Amino acid sequence: MTDNRPLWAPWRLDYIVGTKAKGCVFCPDPNIDNKSALILYESGLSIVMLNKFPYNSGHLLIIPKRHLSDLTDLSIEEESDLMRLTSLSLEILREAYAPMGFNIGMNIGSAAGAGIAAHLHQHIVPRWDGDNNFMPVLGETRVIPEHIDKSYDRLSPLFAAL
C-alpha cells in the first residue's frame, strides 16, 4: 500500500483555469511583457526563454523568430544565431546555477515528441548528479526546486548584460 501525500503546486491553478493562448506560444505577443512571456533575451533572429513546463530549474528554450517547423528550413544566419545563443546560454546557466552537465536537443515533428511541432525550438536543460531521483520514477512526479519566477529573476540580469 502506498502512502498518498499531496504535492502542492498552487501556481498550476492559473494554467488550469486561465485562458489559453491563441496561436503559437513561441511567437511573442506585443501586449505581454517579457517576464510574463518568460522571454530572457531577443536577438534579431532568435529568442531565449524559460520553458513554462521545465524538466529542471533553468530549463531554457532557444527559438528562431521565424515560424518554422524544421531545422533544415533555417537560413545560415538563423542557424548561426541559434548556436551562438545556445553557447551564450550555457555560459549564463553555468554562472547562475553551476550545473554538472546539460541536455541539449530538439524534437522535430510530433512523432519525435515535439509538443509544439509547428515552431522549431531547442531545449537546454541544466543537470546535476542525482537530480533524477525516486520522485519521477516511483511517484510519476517531477520536482522542480526553484519557482519559475525566481529562475527568471536569477537569469534575467545575466542575459541583460549580453
Active site residues: 121
CA 154 – CA 61 distance, rounded (Å) = 16
Please state whether beta strands 101-105 and 122-127 pair in parallel, antiparallel, or not at all (unpaired): antiparallel
Closest CA to 93 of 27, 26, 40: 40
Owner of C-alpha cell 521565424: 66
